[in-house]
Structure 1
Amino acid sequence: MTRLKGRVTLATVAGSAGVSVATVSKVLNGRSDVSPVTRARVQEILQKHGYVGRRPDPVQRDTIELFYQGVVNAYSVEVIQGVVEAGQAAGVDIVLNSRPKHPPATGTTATNGATRITAASTGRAARWIRQLIASGRRAAIGLTSELSDADLAALARARVPLVVIDPANTPEPEVTSVGSTNFAGGMVAAQHLLSLGHRRIAYVGGQPTSGCNRARMSGFRSAMDAAGATVPPEYVWLSDFLYDDGLAGGSSVLDLRDRPTAIFAGSDEVALGILEAARARGLRVPEDLSLVGFDDTEVARLASPPLTTVRQPLREMGAVALRTALQLAAGEQVASHHVELATSLIVRGSAAPLELSSVAAS
């Protein structure tokens, strides 16, 4: 059979098969009122000449915008995976977007710590909301993002539902958020190290303004106070939840004259930085230094030694945020504006009893 030249249309296929255009159309649409012989001949010609018909208009799917600030790390990858998997199950598309952090501006911070709405911040928020509306987003999910008053006001005016996962700043009461039991997680981390005989325990964590960091540190301090163990100011290092912050914070506390025998790290990535700081100083984990992380990401399992850490159900947090956003978009009431999923301690090899360590032996 000679391949037809030029663009193959229904008419050219019909002419080659010796049938009407209507018959070719019936074959394409799976109609039953075509004889088997004719159907086979038409299908052979369609396949031979690579006929591609006009595709039907795609079904419009709902989209949710998932935005974040800063870098994508082991923690955020787990949460994003949870959002995406829940979106697939719900039949909605997830659009990932990075938003720059709000630049500091003189005179924008009120005496009570709240951020005032300035002309610049209002303009940025308005542009962002216009993009959300133009793109047809049903709702927005913020991952560890800092939202200004202008952002919240613009979202409210546009009636774009918002759910925040581990907000970087304390959200307003009406803002729906999803997190974990950070206070309980910080407490159980300290209690584990205390149960191993440690009393000189440092904390290396995230930004002091971060809500989850404050909760973790408060739980840590609560357990230390209950055990009568003091936490000197130099035993606390606050910066961010990334590897370089753990390296810097670990170096600082491990260079102290009375260095800690154990450190609670505010994230697994911080714990990795502390591991490197210890290695650079010839300290072994857990023989010379016990270490507990937070998150239970993949890096905790791959670390050497594997990290004892406080597990957050990160994928479930993402899934809960997605389902909650869809509820709000549908105009449904949610049971709570703030959901906290339970944390748990995962014991591995990075923490050991103090009496077995070289610090105690010396």
Structure 2
Amino acid sequence: MSPRVSMAEIAELAGVSVPTVSKVLNGRDGVAPDTRDHVRRLLEEHHYMRRGTSGKRPTGLIDFVIRDLDPNWAMPLVQGAEDEAARAGVSLVVTSTHGRRIGNRHWVQHLATRRTDAVVLTVTDFQEGIAEELSKLNTPVVLVDPLGGTAPDIPAVAATNYEGGFAATQHLLQLGHRRIGIITGPTLVSCSRERLQGYRAALAKAGVPTDPRLEHWGDFLSESGETATRRMLSIPQPPTAIFAGSDQCAAGVYKEAKRHGLAIPHDLSVVGFDDVMIAKWLQPELTTVRQPLEEMAREAIRMAMQLVHGNRIAHPRQRLATQLVVRESTAKLRDASPEDSV
């Protein structure tokens, strides 16, 4: 074995998976007591140390890896991470994956050469086996989960997407709308499904049946908002309101509504999700669900620093509250009868 034992080597000695060793290190549930004790003994016997606690001088750097640098949602994340890193007395190294999937061995090896104290990932497109590959870094890893990632064994900070979807739909119902469309994100992304579930739950609570013609999957970008809106406006009973899965998607709804000669909110009410810069740039200003992106990034940096210093994270899967922000893009359904409100 190497002088500095790796998590993979501990897993091999214990006869368990690398994610199991990671759970023991981070104090997470899902490990049998005997197995947990066995792994702990091996960690102690072989003097396993995280980077930053090994006696080597810490670099004072944290890698903040983000999918792209789109100013709408990326900049709040970077700002929050930078603020918390400065407060902790460390520097942030921002890296973009340019939309590429992460998790392959070459990518992990490249990241290992950076020799930072911790890695915070703000990406969603993971290859299978990401947790095991990242564990080979022997470096703390935390996930900021704005779109719903697929690495359950990595500590993460996410938002309450279900509650946000419920609040957006309930707001439209309270305004008298019953034909409410939804444009969510990719089917494999968990936050897309959670926002859709919140939408359906709000309709069910109000006694409003769902209509498959009003439910559309997208990619959170403007073009998917345009395409889905075009389809919904072409059906015999088009929606009077649309809940878009992101503010960028809502911008596409605006464009398509204009092409159809519809005024927002008089002819079509629109709710977005995120509350990023574009929400106030749109005219009328967009009613949306605020996702606390800056706070999520700050909390992820705090969690990463706890791991750097060898401390246990009490709550490794955190969800921060969303909040409905009512602006100008929603209004009462015209000619709605009193019984239409809920």
User: Shorter-chain TM-score: what band?
Assistant: 0.7 to 0.9
Aligned to 2:169: 190
Distance (whole Å) between structure 2 residues aligned to residue 193 and residue 202 of structure 1: 10
**Residue 208 of structure 1 pairs with residue 187 of structure 2:** yes
Match of 1:283 among 262, 266, 285: 262
Deviation track 1:60-83 (CA, whole Å, cap 9, x = no partner) reads 852111222356241222112111
Q: Is the 8 A contact 1:312 1:343 kept in 2?
A: yes
Shift of 1:292: 0.6
Aligned to 1:78: 76
Distance (whole Å) between structure 2 residues aligned to residue 305 and residue 100 of structure 1: 32
**Residue 295 of structure 1 pairs with residue 293 of structure 2:** no
Distance (whole Å) between structure 2 residues aligned to residue 305 and residue 328 of structure 1: 45
TM-score when scaled to structure 1? 0.73
Deviation track 1:21-62 (CA, whole Å, cap 9, x = no partner) reads xxxxxxxxxxxxxxxxxxxxxxxxxxxxxxxxxxxxxx9852
2:97 maps to amino acid: R
Aligned to 1:154: 133
**Residue 222 of structure 1 pairs with residue 201 of structure 2:** yes
**Residue 143 of structure 1 pairs with residue 141 of structure 2:** no
1:9-88 → structure 2 map (5 Å cutoff): 61-69=59-67, 72-88=70-86
1:247 maps to amino acid: E
Distance (whole Å) between structure 2 residues aligned to residue 329 and residue 149 of structure 1: 26
TM-score when scaled to structure 2? 0.77
What SS does the aligned partner of 1:327 have?
helix
Aligned to 1:115: none
- Which is higher, the Rg of structure 1 or of structure 2? 1
Distance (whole Å) between structure 1 residues aligned to residue 131 and residue 273 of structure 2: 30
Aligned to 2:94: 96
- How many percent identity over aligned positions? 35
1:319 maps to amino acid: R
Aligned to 1:113: none
Q: Is the 8 A contact 1:167 1:210 kept in 2?
A: no
User: Which 4+ residue blocks in structure 1 deviate beyond 4 angstroms?
Assistant: 100-103, 167-170
Aligned to 1:175: 154
**Residue 231 of structure 1 pairs with residue 233 of structure 2:** no
1:324 maps to amino acid: M
**Residue 129 of structure 1 pairs with residue 108 of structure 2:** yes
Distance (whole Å) between structure 1 residues aligned to residue 234 and residue 307 of structure 2: 50
Q: Is the 8 A contact 1:61 1:93 kept in 2?
A: no
CA shift in 2, pair 1:71/1:277, >3 Å: farther
CA shift in 2, pair 1:68/1:201, >3 Å: same
Aligned to 1:11: none
Q: Is the 8 A contact 2:124 2:150 kept in 1?
A: no
Greater length-normalized contact order (CA 8 Å, ≥ 6 residues apart): 2
CA shift in 2, pair 1:337/1:60, >3 Å: closer
2:213 maps to amino acid: E
Distance (whole Å) between structure 2 residues aligned to residue 250 and residue 328 of structure 1: 45
Distance (whole Å) between structure 2 residues aligned to residue 252 and residue 78 of structure 1: 32
Shift of 1:131: 2.1
Aligned to 1:354: 333
**Residue 258 of structure 1 pairs with residue 256 of structure 2:** no
User: Structure 1, unaligned stretches of length 5 or more?
Assistant: 1-58, 104-120, 358-362
Q: Is the 8 A contact 1:200 1:231 kept in 2?
A: no
Q: Is the 8 A contact 1:146 1:169 kept in 2?
A: no
Shift of 1:342: 0.8
2:331 maps to amino acid: A
Shift of 1:173: 3.7
Distance (whole Å) between structure 2 residues aligned to residue 339 and residue 279 of structure 1: 40
Aligned to 2:305: 326
Distance (whole Å) between structure 2 residues aligned to residue 288 and residue 151 of structure 1: 46
Deviation track 1:206-236 (CA, whole Å, cap 9, x = no partner) reads 1011111111111111001111112211111
Distance (whole Å) between structure 2 residues aligned to residue 265 and residue 304 of structure 1: 16
Shift of 1:243: 1.4
What SS does the aligned partner of 1:335 have?
coil
Distance (whole Å) between structure 1 residues aligned to residue 264 and residue 125 of structure 2: 35
Q: Is the 8 A contact 1:173 1:337 kept in 2?
A: no
Distance (whole Å) between structure 2 residues aligned to residue 146 and residue 314 of structure 1: 18
2:206 maps to amino acid: A
2:137 maps to amino acid: A
Q: Is the 8 A contact 2:126 2:151 kept in 1?
A: no
1:240 maps to amino acid: D
